[in-house]
Structure 1
């Protein structure tokens, strides 16, 4: 190939002389003409970035629940009250005057006669208050008071998660120039020329 290239250059250099020789009736040794060699391409596969890698944040709110709880509103209390003494009236017969024998005058059939008389005992009913139960201090217990309330309870705390998206690629085909177009001198086979 290199030999032909230099031969073509030599032909260009001596072409004026050849023309003059031909026109002068000289003998032609070899002939060349210009030719265009088209460019050479090659198809290559390339990985092209369609979408770059990215990330986004997913937030989950906290989850709550309601529970019923028994709470003490008022604690147990102990108070004291005074119980007065209890009395009862009891009755009994009391001898006021014992039985006796005495002398007294009595009118009998118009006559005033001294008589021996027996007098029975004299009794009287009297009431007396008797202590049945003495005064005391009584403890009064008041039970605790409870109520039910609703409470907001955390079941799951809020979360924050970073989600990554990988880059997206696509394979594309394109032509790559391997050798550009060029002009060369190549030998010509015509009558009167040889190479």
Structure 2
């Protein structure tokens, strides 16, 4: 503000007065000389983008494992075996004629006499084929047959996920011009000039 004031004063007032004073040969009341005021800078810090935000995909392959598995080679089977009938020969006493009472003539002492006679039972031994065990059908079980095989199984399926990378910033310092360099008139003390 002070520089602006002195600049305006030099341009509008001082220069004509000095010229007039010198030309007229009058007494100088105040004297000024030109001076350069250097530019004024200040340091500012700025946050600048070094690398923008990005993302990438990470692929994770599927995970497999091998494990034993029991497999059926041949199912259970049932077959039948036939057992023939079993016979046995047995002997038994069979009544041929039961005991009985009858009349018959007998000659006793030259005489023909009718006598009552008891006849014993008549038996006969016969052989007979007897069924001891009839023919049968026996079920014979054959157990199932298994085997162990290795197979590839999925433990974890393939997956993917996205990784986010945040933007990278950096703080940098730079000089900023606050006021440019300028030429101003400043008062001076010289002989013959009152200040």
TM-score (norm 1): 0.65
Per the alignment, residue 167 of structure 1 pairs with: 167
Match of 1:59, SS state, is strand
CA RMSD of superposed structures (Å): 2.9
Q: Provide Cα deviations, 1:80-108, integer angstroms capped at 9, x if missing partner.
A: 244445678x7x9xxxxxxxxxxxxxxxx
Q: Provide Cα deviations, 1:123-156, integer angstroms capped at 9, x if missing partner.
A: xxxxx98867654333232221111111222222
Aligned residues, how many?
A: 157
1:13 maps onto 2:13 in alignment: no
Per the alignment, residue 189 of structure 1 pairs with: 189
TM-score (norm 2): 0.65
Q: Provide Cα deviations, 1:145-178, integer angstroms capped at 9, x if missing partner.
A: 1111112222222222222222222222221111
Contact 2:76 2:142 (C-alpha < 8 Å) held by counterparts: yes
- Identify the range of structure 1 (7-16 vs 70-79) with the bigger mean alpha-carbon deviation: 7-16
Contact 2:6 2:184 (C-alpha < 8 Å) held by counterparts: no
Q: Provide Cα deviations, 1:14-39, integer angstroms capped at 9, x if missing partner.
A: 44323322xxx332233222211101
Report the Cα distance in structure 1 between the residues aligned to 2:153 and 2:170, rounded to whole angstroms. Answer: 51
Is the alpha carbon distance of 1:3 and 1:68 closer, same or farther for their aligned partners in structure 2, counting shifts above 3 Å? closer
Correspondence 1:97-176 to 2 at 5 A: 134-176=134-176
